[in-house]
Each structure stands twice: as C-alpha cells, then as structure tokens.
Amino acid sequence: MKIIRAALLASSVVLLPHGAQAQQMDAEVLHWWTSGGESAAVKVFADEFNNEGGNWIDTAIAGGQAARNAGVNRIVGGNPPTVMQFNTGGQFVELVSNGLLRDLESVAGENDWRSVLPAALADAASRDGKFYAVPVNIHGQNWLFTNLKVLADAGVEQPQSFAELIAAGPKLREAGVIPLGHGGQNWQDNILFDAVLLEEGGPGLMKAIYGDVDTEAARGAEFRKAAEVFAQLRALVDEGSPGRNWNEATNMVLTGKAAAQVMGDWAKGEFIAAGLTAGTDYGCTIMPGGYMMGGDVFVFPKVDDAAAAAAQDKMAALMLSPGVQVAFNEKKGSVPARLDVDVSSMDACAQAGMEALQNAEAQVPSNNFYSPDLVGSVRDVITEYWNSPAMTPDDFVENFVSAMESAY
C-alpha cells in the first residue's frame, strides 16, 4: 500500500503544473524504509522538513537493493532524486569518485559534524576530507538478544560471550528450547561470524581482514580460533534454520522457542511490536570486542538549480539536528549518529549501546564499511563453511584467503 501511495504521490507531482505551484523547497527523497517501524521513522524527517517550509516528496522503494539500483540508475542517467539513502560505508564511493554527489562541507562545518560524530562514522561518510553523506543512525550489529524467562527457567545467566553461550547450550537443550535462533541466510551467517571474529581478534583483526585485506591476519591464530568457535555454534541451532528470515528467528526468541539470537538492533523493533520491555522481558548484550557499527546515510546528488541545492542543505542540517536524531532513532531502533545527545528517553538497550559508543576504541566499523565485492566473496565462503560440517577450519581459512585474494 505504501508503495502504491508513494507511486500515486510521485505521479501526482509529475502531473501538477510545474512552476506556478512548485514550491521553492521541493525535495524528492528516495529510500527503502517501507516496513511499519521504518516508515514511522522516516516520517519524522518528512514532518520536520515540511514544518520548516519544505515539500517532502516521498519515493519509497521496498528492498535496499532495489532502491539502490533505481537510485544509482537515475543518478547516472542524469535525473537524480534530491536526496537518496545508502548504507553507511562503501556503497556510494564510486558515485563520489565520478563526481556525481555534492560535497556537504559547508553544512558540515556550520554544524560541526566532525566533533559530534564518531570518527569511524565521519570517515565513512567522507572522501578526501570532505563530507559526502549524512549518517543518520548507528545500528549495532553484534547484539545478543535473549528471552529472559526462557533463560531463568533453564537456570542460565545472560551469556556475556560466545564461550558462555556455547556452555549454556546443553542446559537449554535439556529445557527443551533451541539455544540459538538463527536465520541461515548468507548475510546472517556473516553477521554471526563477524561477531565471533570481533570477540576473538578485536577491532584490529576486523580492520586487518576487511579493511587492509591482510591475508597473513587470516592465516593467524586468532582467525583460526574464531573459525573454531564459529563451528561450535552450529550445535546450537535447529534444523529448520537454513533460509529463515531474521525476523522469524527473532520471533522464535520472543515466543520462547529459542533462547537467544545474534542480530543487529533492528531486531528490537520486533520485541517492541510484541509489547516486550528491554531488561525485564528480553535481554540484550553487546558481544565482547566492541560495538560493531552499521547504519544508514543520505547522499545528495549534484543538482543544477539553486532551489534544489538549498533544499539539500536544509535537509542535511535537519537530519543531524539533535532533536530530530533522538525522535528518529527511537522509532528506528538504532542509536543516534551523534554522540552528544541526551538518550535518557530511549530504551535500556539503546542506552547501553550509546554508553559503549562513548569509548572511541569500541567504535568498530562493520563490514558494511568496506568493499562490497570483498565482503560478498568472503560471505560465500562463510556461509559454505557454516553449512558444511565436514569442512575443517583449515579448509575454511584457505578458502577465505583465496576469496580475499580474488576480490578487490
């Protein structure tokens, strides 16, 4: 329905005679936030923009990949949306290097983005020292969500590490629950592996693998240990896991079929929708090693007319203003991209995330920040390993290294 409405809205805009009725501050925003919680979140931006005299034209396309394809095609084809969403990281690098995006230095300088954003996030949003994107949120990707009642019934404490989770496995099985509710799709296998990797090797190993593409690091002892721990996790999942969507796995946790899930904090939306409260009904732990940051950014394609550029400037400043950040992220389930805002109104998990982020060493970029080609190649290897119990950690390391070598 949202799509239809967006389409109608878009077509009505086309049909309206331009010029006479066109407002000075039209901004067509292309994004992929179509689910209930997501569209409530994006509405915060839209309302704020409209209140300030703008005219938000919503182009919502379901599915991140579909939306990015449509947007990139339009930008390359010379008919760009005014504002467009990407994930934080490497997805829009080539648009910058081809000179298709506006740099946001003036807005960034005015609002002092560099001092309020985590350094890694500011780096991911800029190229050659200039901002090209507005990070709007931080999604932690290495959360362990648990059903506290299930844990209590089985006599298990909230696990604080993968070792504790693995140790709790037999007890949970005895109690008749699946220890780890896992959705066996390749990106979810990847999130689980990265969480293990971060615990075993810390932020340094994450960066060496994904950032520096250092094959020596992949042959090292820490990486091998991560491969072994990852393999032990197979015993915790159920046979129906392959192909399962992340929200179905979350549903298993919140209905008590499974005890825990390793997932990004977008899973919180499901707990909230089910009427559960953080800390009393469900537990959330950031797995050791740091806070693995992903998230969303908005970019601003180059436009010819000055009115559109003014709308872009207004939008960029508005998206990162403190009040809007809190209101938006409460709805979205993520934490604000800027670290200087008051989050006391947000839930216990968000506050824990925000607290972790205050420590600069804990700000770990997730694999989203790196080359999509590299991440895709190693993801194939990770998911193959996860699904092939016969594959040894040594085989896995070799396949992983060759995937690193072939990708760029």
Partner 1 sequence: MSSVTDAAPVPPARKRRRLPYAAAIALAPTTLIVLVVYVGCMLWTVRLSFTSSRLLPKLDWVGFSQYERLVSSSRFLVSVENIAIFGVLYIAGCLVLGFLMAVFIDQKVRNEAVFRTIFLYPYSMSFVVTGLVWQWIFNPTLGLQNAVHKLGFGWFKFDWVVDRNMVVYAIVLAAIWQGAGLVMAILLAGLRGIDEDLWKAARVDGIPPWRMYLSVILPLLGPMIVTAVVLLATGVARLYDLVVAMSGGGPGIASEVPAKFVMDHLFERANIGLATSAATLMLITVAIILAPWMYARYIRDGGRR
Token representation of residue 85: 């969403």
Radius of gyration for the chain, computed over Cα atoms and rounded to the nearest angstrom:
22
Residue 94 binds to partner 1 (criterion: CB under 8 A): yes
Residue 297 binds to partner 1 (criterion: CB under 8 A): no
Token representation of residue 314: 């207004």
Residue 247 binds to partner 1 (criterion: CB under 8 A): no
Coil, strand or helix at 96: helix
The single residue among 160, 345, 359, 406 that binds partner 1, judged by CB under 8 A, is: 406
Residue 358 binds to partner 1 (criterion: CB under 8 A): no
CA angle at residue 291 from 299 to 372, to 5 degrees?
Answer: 45
Q: Which residues pair with 293 in a beta bridge?
A: 140, 365
Q: How far is the CB of 353 from partner 1 (least distance, A)?
A: 27
Residue 241 binds to partner 1 (criterion: CB under 8 A): yes
Considering only the stretches 3-11, 259-267, 279-287, 385-393, report the one whose residues sit in contact with partner 1 under the rule CB under 8 A: 385-393
**Cα atoms found within 13 Å of the Cα of residue 325, Cβ hemisphere only:** 23
Decide: residue 99, CB within 10 A, 0-12 exposed, 13-18 middle, 19+ buried: exposed
CB 296 within 8 A of CB 87: yes
Considering only the stretches 91-99, 102-110, 268-276, 310-318, report the one whose residues sit in contact with partner 1 under the rule CB under 8 A: 91-99
- Span 150-209, contacts to partner 1 by CB under 8 A: 184-186
Question: How far, in Å, CA of 332 to CA of 41, rounded?
Answer: 5
Q: Which helix (H) or strand (E) holds 200?
A: helix 186-206
Residue 240 binds to partner 1 (criterion: CB under 8 A): yes
- Total site size for partner 1, rule CB under 8 A: 35
Residue 376 binds to partner 1 (criterion: CB under 8 A): yes
Tell which residue, 188, 170, 202, 203, has the closest CA to residue 247. 188
Tell which residue, 134, 93, 111, has the closest CA to residue 296. 134
Residue 387 binds to partner 1 (criterion: CB under 8 A): yes
Q: How far is the CB of 289 from partner 1 (least distance, A)?
A: 26
Q: Is the dihedral of CA 150, 38, 325, 88 positive or negative?
A: positive
Binding letters toward partner 1, positions 98-137, x by CB under 8 A: x---------------------------------------
The single residue among 91, 137, 147, 312 that binds partner 1, judged by CB under 8 A, is: 91
Residue 394 binds to partner 1 (criterion: CB under 8 A): no
- Span 138-157, contacts to partner 1 by CB under 8 A: none
Q: Estimate the crossing angle of helix 372-386 against helix 393-406, to 10 degrees.
A: 160
The single residue among 33, 44, 68, 107 that binds partner 1, judged by CB under 8 A, is: 68
Considering only the stretches 52-60, 89-97, 211-219, 225-233, report the one whose residues sit in contact with partner 1 under the rule CB under 8 A: 89-97
Q: How far is the CB of 211 from partner 1 (least distance, A)?
A: 17
- Name which of 36 and 240 has its Cβ closer to partner 1: 240
Considering only the stretches 284-292, 303-311, 327-335, 367-375, report the one whose residues sit in contact with partner 1 under the rule CB under 8 A: 367-375
Residue 384 binds to partner 1 (criterion: CB under 8 A): yes
- Name which of 252 and 315 has its Cβ closer to partner 1: 252
Coil, strand or helix at 135: strand
Residue 402 binds to partner 1 (criterion: CB under 8 A): yes
CA angle at residue 328 from 254 to 24, to 5 degrees?
Answer: 145
Coil, strand or helix at 145: strand
Q: How far is the CB of 162 from partner 1 (least distance, A)?
A: 21
Could you identify the residue written with the tokens 């080609």?
Answer: 373
Who contacts 229 (Cβ-Cβ below 8 Å, separation ≥6)? 162, 163, 166, 196, 199, 200
Residue type for position 341: V
Residue 398 binds to partner 1 (criterion: CB under 8 A): no
Residues that bind partner 1 (CB under 8 A): 65, 68-69, 72, 76, 91, 93-95, 98, 184-186, 238-243, 372-373, 375-377, 380, 383-388, 399, 402, 406, 408
